[in-house]
Amino acid sequence: MVIDTPELIAVVVLAFIATTIQTSVGFGTALFFVPMATLLVGAEPAVAAMLIVIPGTGAILLTSSSERLPWREGAWPALISLASMPLGVLLLTRSDENVLRLMVGFGVLLAVLLSYIGGRSADVAHPASWPRMALAGLVAGLMRGALGMGGPALVLYYHWLGAGATQFRNRMYAYGLVAGIPSVAIAVVGGIYAGDTMKVVGVSIPGALLGILVGRQLRPHISDTGIRRLSALLLMATSAIAMVTAGSVLF
């Protein structure tokens, strides 16, 4: 695939929008950027750019935060997810990817409905739970390895922990940073950062930096309830994308 100036300009815009979402909501960067950028520049450059942008954004936002940094809540699920990710890759190689996407789509949608509509427990702060933390990390790793979408389990767990929008965002940033650094190292060793991929990564960075600036201006205007609603919408979008892409092949 030839990557020319129009495609690179479009990547800058997509990186800006994606990072604005991540900065203001706490997650959703890859959900928005990767499918759109893949159509323009291919899957490998799109994923390679996000492997840099997501942990980089997390590092910038965490170091500038005035709140308590939730390293424990972010690091442990990330480390657990790295341990379970190879199992997800194995599951992908032994199963039909589209069946997995369909099942995960339904599962995420059901979890969202139960968490955001059926109950109110997420409105109350809960102490960290090792069993729930381990389960969230394991599921995140399995989903990331099998389908490349590990966020939903962490979103639901961090909303259950409570403590408000700022802490939710910081937990997601910390998770993305801790899980992202080894992913970048693996990608570097794998040799994907070369040629046109470096062009895509290079133009993504200024777009991402501008997105951080705009997203930080939007954050004060998003309440705790707003974060929960936006999270629900992004998770439902995740499940819809998974089910539609799988259904178009299976049926």
Rounded Cα–Cα distance for residues 75 and 107 (Å): 25
Rounded Cα–Cα distance for residues 61 and 217 (Å): 13
- pLDDT given at position 208: 95
**Token pair of 48, please?**
């390679």
Specify whether the CB–CB gap between 41 and 200 falls below 8 A: yes
Tell me the per-residue pLDDT of 138-161, one tens digit each, with 9 for 90 and over: 988 887 776 666 777 888 888 888
**Within 13 A of 241's CA, how many CA atoms are on the CB side?**
16
Non-local CB neighbours of 128 within 8 Å, separated by 6+ positions? 72, 73, 161
Look at the chain and count its residues: 251
Non-local CB neighbours of 72 within 8 Å, separated by 6+ positions? 128
Q: How far is CA 171 from the centre of its chain?
A: 12
Specify whether the CB–CB gap between 78 and 229 falls below 8 A: no
* Residue 245 reports pLDDT greater than 90: no
Rounded Cα–Cα distance for residues 135 and 80 (Å): 9
- pLDDT given at position 122: 47
Rounded Cα–Cα distance for residues 34 and 150 (Å): 14
**Token pair of 12, please?**
């800058």
* Residue 27 reports pLDDT greater than 50: yes
Rounded Cα–Cα distance for residues 212 and 218 (Å): 10
Tell me the per-residue pLDDT of 164-192, one tens digit each, with 9 for 90 and over: 778 888 888 888 888 888 878 877 887 88
Tell me the per-residue pLDDT of 107-140, one tens digit each, with 9 for 90 and over: 777 777 766 654 444 456 677 778 888 898 898 8
Which carries the bigger pLDDT value, residue 65 or residue 25? 25
